A and B are shown apart, each in its own frame.
Chain A
Amino acid sequence: MATPASNRQLPAIQVDPTNKPYFDAAREGRLLIGLCKDTNKHFWYPRGCSPFTLSNNVELVEAKGTGTIYTYTVMRTKEPYCVAYVELDEGVRVFTNIVDCDLDSLKIGQKVKVVFKPTQGDSPPATMFTPA
């Protein structure tokens, strides 16, 4: 049995002054993640402070855009979709969707790569993943 991922309409994303650089990069097809410059550790999700030290000595750095599925689930709604945590090669686990695939074929540990999917209106794209 196969369940093709639906192309459901994605809601607009709430951009704020702190996360705007992340979403500007997403518009250019680049995936950024947080870096704490006090500890040289990556973090997710992007924010204006280090979750390790609470200082604002943070920046956004480009990730490779590849990783593996840490866990996933398929919402069996009228338009089925897959919610997942993808562990990026940099180590952080990102809440996302797996798209452009047969949802019944997915496995934990499977390799995936980033894709950007349009949302409503002028809102920036959503960061999703598809089997590599």
Chain B
Amino acid sequence: MSISGKAYIAGAYEHPTRKADDKSVAQLHAEVAYGALQDAGLTKDDVDGYFCTGAAPGLGPLNMADYLGLTKLRHLDSTDVGGSSYVLHVGHALEAIALGQCNVALVTLAGRPRAEAMATGTAPRSWGVNVPDDPFEIPYGRTVANAYALCAMRHMYEFGTTSEQLAWIKVAASHHAQWNEHAMLRKVVTVEDVVNSPMISDPLHRLDCCVISDGGGALIITRPEIAKSLKRPLVKVKGHGEATKNQNAGYTDLTYSGARFSGPRAFEEAGVRPADIQYASIYDSFTITVLIQLEDLGFCEKGQGGKFVADGNLISGTGKLPFNTDGGGLCNNHPANRGGMTKVIEAVRQLRGEAHPKVQVPGCTLALAHGTGGLLGTRHGSATVILERE
């Protein structure tokens, strides 16, 4: 049984804040939930499915459901695969709606690592207690930055990828961010700017890394009949795939990501090919994240990502594959250190024709959003959705 197209994204909202000194995390969740419901033309009492992650304060979805006053819930999902969670939640909402488990699903994300001055990328961090890999990784100073740098170094060794090629990914993001009034970094940068920025973790420079921002976002996913009764353009969830990738019992291969598994699943369900995609939101915690995912999703051959992204190929209007037209995590925002939500939101904007006119892909009817959550160099979640304008 195919569930392709049995749910639609009817509401999407991105919080405009990038530094929320004056708001709690719960308040931010409420503001994005309200924004997405307003966008859809629904109210909180229409919501009967709620999705969030460990970034939501409290025990799974319980405290936020209470805070938000959600009293009609009959479907809950707090699957947490880091920043990729919100892409995965779109797929899970599709499954739940197709099975009749809920009619209106709300997904929320919010956080304020910037206001809290969190050392997001450069301080060793555990994901919890009793984590069995911690004693074998945390003492060695495993951080987010170095867990991605390890992949970049190996990719360069195996395929001859260069820092200049990686820099093109940031350059493209900055070309898009200049038009986004909310973006943290709106200045257009050059390849030289990126490779001359301070080294953080070889071979990744400061400008190869995403921003640290506060904020959040929310989505409303609903049954086709409900979506068609609303006033917003119709964005169908056409395909979804999810996967984990791990160390493979010590035989880890850092040249690929979980996108190698989640991507084909999403394409198969959607019945389309990478060449059909007109716009792609690609998780950009670091430039290397984008490059490896593009290869694994099938936009180019393995090892050819450097050539594929070079010379502005990801810039909307000139490149073959417009990506992250909001400026992405590299320039716009990375709320709660989790970029999957904004990846879906910008794909929805493109399909609605509501991206900034300078970056809008003309006649955009088929888009992809992809997330990687956790650490590319150790273990991570991977989620892909394919969305279609009807």
- Give chain A's interface residues, CB within 8 Å of chain B: 8, 10-11, 13-16, 18-19, 23, 33-34, 41-47, 51-52, 70-77, 81, 83-85, 91-97, 108, 119, 126, 128
Contacts and interface: CB of A to CB of B under 8 A. Distances in A.
Interface stretch (B90-98, B143-151, B179-187, B275-283): B143-151
Nearest to A119: B139
Interface string B143-175: 101100111111001000000000000000000
B350 interface: no
Residue among A33, A85, A126 with max Cβ neighbours from chain B (10 Å): A85
Nearest to B157: A108
Given A8-B141, A95-B378, A96-B140, 16 more contacts: A13-B135, A18-B132, A42-B250, A51-B249, A71-B150, A73-B202, A74-B199, A74-B201, A75-B141, A76-B201, A83-B149, A83-B201, A91-B250, A92-B250, A108-B153, A119-B139
Interface of B: 122, 124, 130, 132-143, 145-146, 149-154, 157, 198-204, 247, 249-252, 254, 378
Dominant SS among interface residues on chain B: mixed
A76 B199 contact: yes
Given A43-B249, A76-B199, A15 B154 contact: no
What 5 A-B pairs have minimum CB-CB distances, sorted nearest first?
Answer: A44-B250, A92-B250, A73-B149, A51-B249, A71-B154
Nearest to A76: B199
A81 B254 CA distance: 20
A91 B198 CA distance: 35
A74 B203 CA distance: 8
Contact of A76 (B152, B198, B250): B198
Contact of B150 (A8, A10, A72, A91): A72
B201 A11 contact: no
Given A73-B150, A75-B146, A97 B201 contact: no
Contacts of A43: 249-250
A14 B134 contact: yes
Contacts of A94: 136, 250
